[in-house]
Structure 1
Amino acid sequence: MAYPPEPWSLRGTMHVSVWVVPCSVVPPLPAALAGAVRVVRLGARAVVGTAWVDYRPGGDLSYRELLAATLTRAGARPRVTISHIWVDSPDSRDGGRELWGIPKDLADLTVTDVAATAWTGTGPIASSAVRAGARLPFRLPVAFRVAQDLAGTAKVTPVRSTARYGTTRVTWDMAADGPLGFLSGRRPLLSLVATDFRMRFGDPARHPAADPAVA
């Protein structure tokens, strides 16, 4: 295999937006997750996150990424389920699919501190303008778990990271007829930036000698 073993040590910058949208427009969960997780509901609405990510040199892989994920739960325990995701690295695509059931596809992506775009041969997916706000002077830890369909079974993967967080304004333009069209014309509730994040994605028990790169 060309991709690194689990867990992956990754570094970079991430711009995250949080949306509250009608449950009726949220992509359905895979059948393999039925009974394992449920969509978190706020009345008739659900919480969706989107993110532009620039994974930079210094980690196991370096590439760009666009994703959309739904906030789910296993009982009272929060989970994140990724419904759409594009990367510009075949190794990341293959590893994400085979290790964790993350449905990565390939796209052409540009991600900078001020703008981002994603498109495929069939047309644009999304673009954004980014304007940074205030940032915390210290790092904060974040930990969560991702629940995905891996070969017909529920796969739960731990994620740990530290980063300097700050406010930002991300203006999204989703292609109305594209895969993220369910967000077209809507505005996110809030956006955050995680700068110089250091992430460990995956179970360290799978590869005990791995450097967690979380500091």
Structure 2
Amino acid sequence: MTDRTEPPAGPGFPAPPWRARGSLWLSLFRTRAPLPLPTGLTPLGSRRLLAVLLVRYTEGTLRYDEFAVASPVRSDRHVGLHCHGIWVDSQASLRGGRDLWGIPKEPARFSWSADSVRVSDDAGTIAALRVGPHGRWRVPVPYAPGHVFGRIGADRVQLAGRLSGRLRTGRLGTLEWSGRLPELRRAEPLCALALSPARFFFPAGTVVGSRGGPLPGRPGRATGPDPRS
């Protein structure tokens, strides 16, 4: 994306909550092999189920593009996504994702055409995706959870985000798929949906598991040494 305006902040990213508007595409695929999960996370349904997400945040706290591949998972009573890979074209989003929620974002470039996008980095193409058009029917979604699990040090962190907007059928298919990504059983998704226009709300993270509760120190960030270092 171009003409991006990012609010300044001392650590290089805005403090939560982050608010944004834009569009989200989501497809579900099956992978050839079971996907690995960290201890304490269990799959929702099959361990071969892979969620592929493409998001354009066009207004709000930050404006950027995002591509992610993730497993739908559960941690005790908490449900969300565990990212196997996630890429953004904003350094502020990258730093914030890592430091606020323990989400391992990586830098990438997004090259858009009329009906596709190519996501690439210095190592080459990560994925090329066929995008849209939206279906004609629309269902208002006043509230939907948008939870993601990350890790900061020894703590599992949950980003308990919220989504709202208009849900439609969509298209998010694969044109190219890097070997760095989980191998898909088929190139066509099991289903594809779009939330557009969409609103996003991302609050400070919460530790789930060993301690629970809000993260100490600066909102959304753990302090102190990493017990695993």
Match of 2:145 in 1: 143
The Cα of 1:183 is off from its aligned counterpart by 2.6
Map 1:93-172 onto structure 2 (within 5 A): 93-111=94-112, 114-130=115-131, 131-136=133-138, 138-172=140-174
The Cα of 1:56 is off from its aligned counterpart by 0.3
Q: Distance in 2 between matches of 1:174 and 1:102?
A: 25
Q: Distance in 1 between matches of 2:83 and 2:104?
A: 8
The Cα of 1:64 is off from its aligned counterpart by 0.7
Match of 2:204 in 1: 203
Q: Distance in 2 between matches of 1:78 and 1:143?
A: 9
- Structure 2 unaligned residues grouped into runs of 5+: 1-10, 206-213, 221-229
Match of 1:2 in 2: 12
The Cα of 1:71 is off from its aligned counterpart by 0.7
Contact conserved, 1:38 with 1:74, CA < 8 A, in 2?
yes
- Structure 1 unaligned residues grouped into runs of 5+: 208-215
Runs of 4+ aligned structure 1 residues displaced above 4 Å come to 204-207
Contact conserved, 1:64 with 1:110, CA < 8 A, in 2?
no
Q: Distance in 2 between matches of 1:112 and 1:162?
A: 26
The Cα of 1:146 is off from its aligned counterpart by 1.7
Match of 2:194 in 1: 193
> What is the root-mean-square deviation of aligned Cα atoms in Å?
2.3
The Cα of 1:181 is off from its aligned counterpart by 4.7
Compared with structure 1, are the counterparts of its residues 47 and 116 closer, same or farther at alpha carbon in structure 2 (3 Å cutoff)? same
Contact conserved, 2:26 with 2:52, CA < 8 A, in 1?
yes
**Which has the larger share of helix?**
1
Compared with structure 1, are the counterparts of its residues 203 and 98 closer, same or farther at alpha carbon in structure 2 (3 Å cutoff)? closer
The Cα of 1:170 is off from its aligned counterpart by 2.1
Residues 108-146 of structure 1: CA deviation (Å, up to 9, x unaligned): 113567221101111101111223222316343211422
Compared with structure 1, are the counterparts of its residues 186 and 25 closer, same or farther at alpha carbon in structure 2 (3 Å cutoff)? farther
SS of alignment partner, residue 182 of structure 1? coil
Contact conserved, 1:64 with 1:111, CA < 8 A, in 2?
no
SS of alignment partner, residue 180 of structure 1? coil
Contact conserved, 2:138 with 2:166, CA < 8 A, in 1?
yes
Contact conserved, 2:127 with 2:178, CA < 8 A, in 1?
no
Compared with structure 1, are the counterparts of its residues 195 and 111 closer, same or farther at alpha carbon in structure 2 (3 Å cutoff)? farther
Contact conserved, 2:146 with 2:160, CA < 8 A, in 1?
yes
Q: Distance in 2 between matches of 1:175 and 1:161?
A: 28
SS of alignment partner, residue 97 of structure 2? helix
Match of 2:43 in 1: 39
User: How many equivalent residue pairs?
Assistant: 197
The Cα of 1:76 is off from its aligned counterpart by 5.0
